[in-house]
Every structure is written in structure tokens, then in C-alpha cells.
Structure 1
Amino acid sequence: MSELLLKSVMSWNWKDAAADWKGEESVMRLLKHCSTIKQLKEFHCRAVHSGFHKSLSVAGKMILFCAVWENTDMNYAVRVFNSIHKADAFVWNTMIRGFGKTRQSEKAFAFYRRMQRRKPDVEADTFTFSFLLKIIGGLGSVTLGKQLHSTILKTGLQTHTYVRNSLVHMYGMVRDIETAQHLFEEIPDADLVAWNSIIHSHVHCLNYKQALHLFVRMLHSGFHPNEATLVVILPACGAVGALDFGRRIHSSLLLQQQQLLEITSVSNSLIDMYAKCGAVEEAYQIFSNMKGKNVISWNVMILGLALHGNGLEALALFGKMLQQNVDRPNDVTFLGVLSACSHGGLVDESRRCIDIMARDFNIQPTIKHYGCVVDLLGRAGLVEDAYNLIKNMPVQCNAVVWRTLLAACRLHGRVELGERVRKHLLELEPDHSSDYVLLANMYASTDQWNEMSRERRSMQQRRVWKPQPGNSFIGISGLTLAKETIETPL
């Protein structure tokens, strides 16, 4: 039936338009089978010819297609919107949602203000505020978030589940984690979405320990984690090296929720967690058993191998990816390959990698890609080659890459080149403590004590101080995913 409907659209008889489109229901069925903007525009023309374009339902569905579905075209959505005599809240919300999806936040709030001026004919509802809160979270504006929160309080919609969870998530995304936690604790009966929102908020704010504690609280509250929970909590385990905790989660999924392991994003998160915790063999086992690999799966595994110095294995996996020709590599793939080359000292391979990026895959190397090559050349003692690469690369060099080269100059005692590199750093970040220290140590390693003392005095005169030393830890005090917790269905 669907093929006949689509065929009737494509072979439309303009003379018999009114006769063939006998009702709004049949028109909506035809619209449902449009799959491209071109087909939608043809449908729109025929809707205008037959008079159905005046239907709010038909126009709303056309806007939904333009704004939300895969073929986003907000310019055309605006044209359809402007042809509507009196839009309802669904249409207004769809426009705001579409602008949010396409990262046109200013236009989204412009439509919101226009919507506000239409009171009392149309008023913002729970969907309006939830879409706007998501946009604010992406912008990272705590001021704008608090302003909208104040408006929500005036409308009395702050207790609505959808809005309340969106508020928690928004405050987390703008890194006001205290307010996010406070709002969460005020929820009388938090649902799984609320738990996911506050856990994600803490992970976003790098509060990994608190996120893992909240996950345990969630389990004790009787909730089962879903895909959204796992793709957030597993990276948190990897970030702090909580391997035993991550293994417990994996074991519980094997025992009770194997269907979640069939989801590609969950498997990718498990690979990432194991790789970052140093359990590369376990990561590779999951990768090998995956049925639905995507480019992220390959990237995570390549990066995981590269992270632990398995450069040749990472390159072999990249070669397998190209040979299978299932997923096309992207810029992250090449970043992993170059990182593998850097850790493995594979100079020639890194140069070939940079060449094929643009030539064979039309991917322009970024400063991160060039930075990997500079690091590799510096490690190999080819500091002049690294300097020439920086001077000739098509992107502007940043302080991090220059500093990488300065460290290589210090390592290999190349004082003259180090001084040239230091001049570039003075233009970018004149008072970075590590630059003074690197150059002073370089002078000391070549017995140039006067120059070393001069650099130290210059550092003191400019009141540049070395940062306080950090500390590290293994494991998380007071955090256990006990056997009895695991035996409770997740």
C-alpha cells in the first residue's frame, strides 16, 4: 500500500488533484511516505493546488518533517509556518525544537518571544519549556537558564515531570551542579529519567565519584538502568579507573539484561571503559563479538590500543577496517591512528596517514592531527622536521603544539631551536609557567647556568609561579557495588 501511495504522489495528475485527494486522512497518509525535501516540496505544491495547505494538521506535519526528521530544512519550515493563518502550540513548539536541533538558538528564542506575544490565543506549555531548556543546556548559559526557570515558576509548571527533569539536566549542562542536585533531591518520587539526568550532570561536570555513588543509590531505589544510564556511567568508570565497578556492571548485564549488550552504544561504552582501565584484552573481546559495529566502535578500540602503546595492533585494526569497507573512517579514526603512531614511534606511517586523510578520504587534518605528528617527530629527535611541519601546515599552530616541540628540544638538548620556539610561545601565552621551566631546564642540561638563572629571574619578576603539584588515586573510597546489589535485578 505504501508503494502505491508514494507512486500516486510522484505521478500526480494536476487536473484531477481535487478528485484524487478526497480527504485530509488520505492526504496525511501520502505525506507520511515523503522521504526527501524534494518529495515534500512536490507534495506541498499539490496541497496548495487542492486547498489542503490551509489545514493546520497538514501544515504542522510538513513543518515537523522539515524541523525534526533527518532531512532538516528550517528555511522551508519557516515558509510553511508563515503561510499558516493561526498556528497552534504544537506548530510553535515544533519550530522551536527544529531551531534547537539545527543549533540556531537565537531564532529559537525569537520564535518563543513571538509565541509569547500571541497570548492568550497560544501559550507556552511543558514542551515549549523543555525544548528551550535543552537549547540553553547546549549554550551553557546559566544566566539564561535562571531567567527561564523564573518564567517557569510563574507559570506553575515547575512540578511537571518533563519540565522538572529538563531543569535538572539544564543546570547540569551549564555546570551549576549544586542547583541541579538540589532540584533532584526535591523530587518526591524520582523516575529513571530524573536519575539519568542527575548522573549525566555529574559526569558532565567531571564529578565521576558522585555519579557512581548516585548510580548505586539508583539501584537501591529499585530502578533498572537503561541504555541512557549505561552510556554515561560506564565512561565515568573509565575516567577514574574503577575497573572492578565496571566489571560488576558488565557481569550484571550478562546475567540479567543481555538485550542491552546488543545495543551498539552500550557495547561501545564497555569497550571504552575496559580500554581506559587498562583491560585491553577484555575490550578487544567485546569488540570482536559485536554484531553491529559502527565507526565509533572502531575508533574506541583503535584509541584504546593506542593509549596503551599497542601501535602496531592499532594500525592492523585500522587496516582491517579499511579492508572490510563497512564503516568509513572519520577524523577521530585518524586521530587514533596518529596517536598509535606517536606512542609506537612509527614516523613513516604517521606521514602516510596525514597524506591519505585528505587524498583518499577528503578529511582535512586539524591541529590535533598535526599535534600528534609533531609529538612523534619530537620523540624521535627529528625536531627540525617538526618545526618545519608547524611552519608549513595549513592550520594555525596553538600553544600546546609549540610547547610539545619545546619539550622535545629540551629532551634532545636543541637549545637554539628551543629559543626560537619560545619566541612563538611568548606571542601566544607569554606567562605560562611551564615554558620558563622547560627553557631553564634546557639551559641547565647544556651547562648554560647564566641563561638558566636569567630565565628563573624573569619568571620571578613577572610573578609567574609553578602550579601546585597534583595528586592521583586508584579506586574510590567508600564506593562498592556489592554482590547483593548485583543480585538485585538491575
Structure 2
Amino acid sequence: MVLAITPTPRPHHHIPLHSSNNGDSRTHLHTHLLHLLNECTDMSQLKQIHAHTLRATSTTNPHTLFLHSRILHFSSLADLNYAFRVFNQIENPHSFMWNTLLRACARSSQREEQAMLLYCRMLAEGAAMPDQYTFPFVLRACAYLFALSEGKQAHANAVKLGFDSDVYINNSLIHLYASCGRLELAKKVFEKMRERSVVSWNVMIDSFVRAGEFETALKRFGEMQKKFEPDGYTMQSIINACAGLGALYFGMWAHAYVLRKCDGGLANDILINSSLIDMYCKCGSLEIAQQVFDRMPKRDVTTWNYMILGFAMHGQAEAALKYFERLVKKQTFAPSSITFVGVLSACNHRGMVNEGRKFFDMMVNKYRIEPRLEHYGCLADLLARAGFIEEALNLVTTMPMKPDIVIWRSLLDACSKQHASVELSEEVARQILESTGGQGGVSSGVYVLLSRVYASASRWNDVGSIRKLMTDDGVAKEPGCSLIEIDGVTHEFFAGDTSHPRSREIYRVLDVVKERLEVMGHDLVRE
């Protein structure tokens, strides 16, 4: 009988700890206590049973140890602090008991570090050795804390104890190394696995997606299909990979696969549908994103965020703000920090300065959301683009965190476009240099923007100095890059690129387009 204890308070009542025919039989007492334990519904009753177990049973009796392990298990589900008290009263706890606490700590927020300390204590005491069930919990805690060194030690210990072929441990190792940014180690573990499960493939594919290696993720997906049927977790990762690539054709195939082959409940899954909305928005198919959104029986705040961000991304500020109004009106979910990133981005794309100020104030004062760097960056960019450069600069210099180079560069870009004073532009450029330590890390775009400021002020000597500085520092202008998907294949092009196998044909077509534009009266040099 499985018990799920909830911490919800109920009317307290005492449990009858003795039955009329109890007698002196130890076996009968243990059976009776176990029965009461299985019928237990709250922590008050559990504590009564625990107290009686301590008073009326021998600590060395195997039946008593079993009772303690059940009490430990049940208390770990409802009151982890009490579970530790139970654990500390047990003499020589066996591996199952250690694992019970490790599992509870690893799965409980803010307890991951406690899980690692418990594992170290287990090794130090040496009475019970870690088994194949121990390491997944320990590795999970290490992954959450990005504790690479401790994770490697746990890995070495697992190998030493002969668990290097365990599928569950290897899956946890892949997740650990990928979470810590060591994808090459995750791949190494995966390649060495003699036996893989669907979870193994899912963790590896998801790791590639999170690392931005979208094409590799799709390639691995193709390999996986030869041996396993993808499940919901697989498809969510694949949809996210398509979103990252802007691969609409493959994304639509993944959507159709979910509808056709996966279990019925998956078609209505909030996470899957939210990922589909994100993918369609990033691929520019806003109408399909709307259709997915409208057909969802249930939504969460992430779903609304994807719609707001998607429309904002494509400059459709009015539509984005209408979704925000619908979200607020429903009052089912409170807007999140990410919601306001989308709202402020929408205002930024349309130059809606007053609305941007209003929403920023609403976020802080009504919803009590502490602004992050992204919020300050959106508002500063909005103000600067609209010509309120000094207000933007004041916002950036007074915010509680240090501005990053992206914010400073957006201000410099606004200075060059709004013909701001040279002194103000130079101050922003100086901040960029200081944020990168004065050398290295400054892209060619910063030099180009500053040279435009000097050019607009007819300070040609300074323009020449900037270009000489670029030459002396070996800074070359970064070529523009574009992506296009044709028949499910994503092609990447750079300005002046000749690496594509059909580049000659492409440039011949471009020459034809150029000639036709010139015939129609376009001056391509000036434009």
C-alpha cells in the first residue's frame, strides 16, 4: 500500500496502538504498527507511531529496522527535517535508508547541497556502501549545483564500485556534464554506453539543443529512430531544435508526428504546445502559432509569454500587447519577469515610449517584480532610439547592476542614428572599452558606430584615426550572416561567402537581380 502524506493539517486524533488480542507477540506488534503506518494520513499520526516504535521495539530487530525505513520514507515525503531526526536515531542505517534521504534532498529545492553533504557523510562513516541507486541522486544534485569537480569524484567512485555500465547512472552523468558545459564529456559517456534507453537518447539530444548544437541534435534524432520510438520528451527537444534553426519544414513534420504517433494526451500537453508556439513564432508563422494557442485546452504563463514574445519579435506590438491584456484580464496567472521582457520589447519595436515607461512602472509597483538586466536594457534601448539618450544613459548608470556591453552598444548605436553630441557618444564608447578591460572583446561594430558619429559631425580626421586603430588592432568588420531553409535543409550564408557548393549559381542569380533593379532606376551604391 503506497502512502502519500500531505502536510495539510487535519483534526488530530490518537491512533489505537494496541488491539484487544495484541498479547506479547513481537511479530504481532510489528505487524500492527506496520498496518497503522500504512493507514497513516498526517504527520501527527506518523510521529505517534514513531514514538511507540522507539518505546516498544528492539532497535536490533530486523522488523524494527523495516518499520524505521518505512517511517523514514513516509516522513521524507512530508517533513524532511523530521526525516533527518528519524534517520539520526537509527543505528547503522543501511543503503536503502541513505538513498531515501538522498532522493528526498535531490528532489527538493534548496536541498541539493544537503544531498552532497549526506553522500560525503555516507562515505566517511563507511557502514553502508553506495549502490547503483545512490549515484543518480548524487549526480542530480551535482548537476543542479553545477558541481563539476564533485560530480567527477562521484563518477570515479561509481566506476570503482563496478557501476560504470549502469544505464541510469550513465544517463545522470550525461545530464551532469552537459549541465556543467562539458558536452564533450557527456558525448564520451554516451558513446561508451553498451546499452542505451530512450532516456539516454533524450538526455543526449536535449543536451545538444541546450548547447545550441541544433543540427547535431536532429542528426542524433535520426539515429535514435532506428532503435526507439520517440516520446514526448524527445519531441519537445526536437521542436526546440527546429526553433533554434528556424527550420519550419522539419518543425511542421515534428508537429504532425506528435499528432499522429504519440499518445493522445501529448497533443494537448502544455509543454509540447508551448514549444510549438515558440517554434512557429521564431519561424515567422504567427498564424499557425495562433491556431496552436487557440486550440489548447489549458495554458500556463509560459504559453502566454511565447505568444507575447513571438509577436513582439516580429514588430507586431499591438497584437503582443493585446495578448498581455488578455492575460491580465483572465487573472489566472500573474505576469512573470519574462512576460515584461516581451511587453517592453514590443514597445521598443514600435517606439512606444510612454507605454514602455508605464509597463516598466507596472512591473515594479503593481506586480512587485524586480527588474533584471533585460528589462533595463529594453527600456534604455527604447528611450535611446526615441531620442531620449540622456534619460537612457541616466537609467543605465543608476540601475543596481553593472550594464553589459550589449546595453552600451545599443546606446552607441542610438547616438550614431540620432546624431547625438560627439561628447556623449565618446562617453558611451569609453564605457564600452572599460567594460572589456580596455582591450580585446570589442567588436568591429563598436568602431564602425563611433566612426559614423565622427562622420556625421564632419570630423574626418577622427574617422581616419578609428580606421587606423582598427587596422593596428587587427579588427576586421564582421560579415553579415543569414539563414534560409529550403526543403528542410538550413543553409547559412555570410557576406562575400563562396563556401556554398552552388555559390557560382547563386551569384549569377544575384547579378541578374542587380541588373533588373538598376534598369528599374535603383541606385544600388547609394541605397
TM-score by length of 1: 0.84
Of residues 469, 474, 483, the one that matches 2:484 is 474
Change (3 A) 1:386 1:115: same
**Structure 2 residue 291 is matched with structure 1 residue 282:** no
Cα distance in 2, alignment partners of residues 464 and 126 from structure 1: 55
Match of 2:99 in 1: 93
Q: State the identity as a percent.
A: 35
- How many Å apart are 1:206 and its aligned residue? 1.5
Q: CA deviation at 1:183?
A: 3.3
Q: What is the rounded CA distance, in whole Å, between the counterparts of 1:98 and 1:464 in structure 2?
A: 55
CA 387–476 in structure 1, closer or farther in 2 if over 3 Å, else same: same
Structure 1 equivalent of residue 38 of structure 2: 29
**Unmatched 5+ residue regions in structure 2?**
23-28, 491-527
Give the Cα–Cα distance (whole angstroms) in 2 for the partners of residues 392 and 7 of structure 1.
45
Alignment pair present for 1:78 and 2:84: yes
Structure 1's unaligned 5+ residue stretches are 35-39, 481-490
SS of corresponding position for 1:473: strand
- Whether the aligned pair in 1 keeps the contact of 2:201 and 2:224 (CA below 8 Å) is yes
Which of residues 110, 125, 136 in structure 2 aligns to 1:118?
125
Which amino acid in the other structure matches residue 13 of structure 2? W
The one of 429, 449, 453 aligned to 1:438: 449
- Equivalent in the alignment of 1:246: 251
Aligned to 2:205: 199
- Where does residue 384 of structure 1 map in the other structure? 390
Q: Give the distance between the partners of 2:65 and 2:249, measured in 1 at CA.
A: 56
* Distance (Å, rounded) in 1 between the aligned partners of 2:371 and 2:179: 29
Distance 2:191 2:419 in 1: 57
Asked if 1 retains the 8 angstrom alpha-carbon contact of 2:165 and 2:194, the reply is no
Q: Is the counterpart of residue 452 in structure 1 residue 452 in structure 2? A: no
- 2:231 is matched with which residue? 226
Matched residue SS, 2:484? coil
Query: How many Å separate the matches in 2 of 1:211 and 1:6?
Result: 42
Q: Identify which of 234, 242, 257 aligns with 1:237.
A: 242
| Amino acid aligned to 2:34 | E
Higher mean C-alpha deviation, range 155-164 or range 450-459: 450-459
- Cα separation, 2, equivalents of 1:399 and 1:436: 13
Partner of residue 46 from structure 1, selected from 39, 45, 48 = 48
Quote the Cα distance in structure 2 between the aligned partners of 1:8 and 1:369: 41
Q: Which moved more, 1:290-299 or 1:195-204?
A: 195-204
What are the Cα deviations for residues 28-55 of structure 1, in whole angstroms up to 9, with x where unaligned? 3354x33xxxxx3x44653454345976
Task: Give secondary structure in 1 for the equivalent of 2:177.
Answer: helix
Corresponding residue number in structure 1 for 2:116: 109
For residue 182 of structure 1, report the CA deviation from its aligned partner. Answer: 3.8
Match of 1:292 among 269, 287, 298: 298
1:352 equivalent in structure 2: 358
Secondary structure of 2:335's aligned partner: coil
Give the 5 Å matches for 1:360-375.
Answer: 360-375=366-381
Task: Check conservation: 1:9, 1:43, Cα contact below 8 A.
Answer: no
Distance in 2, matches of 1:276 and 1:57, equals: 55
Structure of larger gyration radius: 2
Change (3 A) 1:51 1:312: same
* 1:404 to 2:392 alignment: no
Question: Is the 8 Å Cα contact of residues 129 and 163 (structure 1) preserved in structure 2?
Answer: yes
Tell me whether 273-282 or 140-149 shows the greater mean CA deviation: 140-149
* AA matched with 2:52: S
Structure-to-structure mapping, 1:111-150, within 5 angstroms: 111-119=118-126, 121-150=127-156
Quote the offset at 1:106 in angstroms. Answer: 4.3
Letter in 2 for 1:427: E
Greater shift, 85-94 or 441-450, is seen at 85-94
Residues 180 and 198, structure 1, Cα contact 8 Å, conserved in 2: yes
The 8 Å contact of residues 234 and 273 in structure 1, kept in 2 or not, is answered as: yes
Match of 2:475 in 1: 465
**Contact 1:100-1:131 within 8 A present in 2 as well:** yes
CA distance 1:61–1:446, shift in 2 (3 Å): farther
Q: Deviations over 1:120-142 (max 9, x none)?
A: x3111112111222233334455
> Secondary structure in 1 aligned to 2:243?
helix
The separation in 1 between residues aligned to 2:111 and 2:486, in whole angstroms, is 41
Deviation at 1:304, TM superposition (A): 1.0
Q: Does 2:315 match 1:309?
A: yes
Quickly say closer, same or farther: Cα 1:46–1:172, change in 2 above 3 A.
same
Q: State the Cα RMSD in Å.
A: 3.2
Distance 1:114 1:232, change over 3 A: same
Paired with 1:464 and 1:47, the residues of 2 have a C-alpha distance of 76
Separation of aligned partners in 2, 1:365 and 1:26 = 53
Quick one: which amino acid aligns to residue 366 of structure 2?
Answer: D
Q: 1:262 aligns with which of 258, 261, 268?
A: 268
Q: Which amino acid aligns with 2:48?
A: R
- The number of residue pairs the alignment matches comes to 463
State the TM-score, normalized to the length of structure 2. Answer: 0.79
**For structure 1, which segment, 141-150 or 311-320, has the greater mean C-alpha deviation from structure 2 after superposition?**
141-150
